[in-house]
Amino acid sequence: MPHTTWRKSSFSADVHQNCVELAAAHDGIRIRESDQPETLVRTTPAALGGFIRAAKAGRLDRTL
């Protein structure tokens, strides 16, 4: 199994142990929570880009 290089935001310093981490993989992008590394979400670059653009634009700020 190939080694996976996980990355987290530079905003998440060592004092913040619970961070979202991302890794590039042959099947897309993998996302995990650092305190539950065995649980993975897989996505595509296009889908992740759409999510990030929506979050930055405030389109995800609504509450139900």
**In the predicted model, is pLDDT for residue 14 greater than 80?**
no
pTM of the model: 0.74
In this prediction, residue 64 carries a pLDDT of 67
Residue 28 has a pLDDT of 95
What is the distance between the alpha carbons of residues 46 and 52, in angstroms, rounded to a whole number? 10
Q: In this structure, what token pair is assigned to residue 45?
A: 């670059």
- Helices vs. strands in the chain: H and E counts, helices first: 1, 3
pLDDT over 60 (residue 8): yes
User: Does residue 38 register a pLDDT over 60?
Assistant: yes
Give the residue from 10, 59, 16, 55 showing the smallest Cα distance to 35. Answer: 16
pLDDT tier at 13, thresholds 50, 70, 90? low
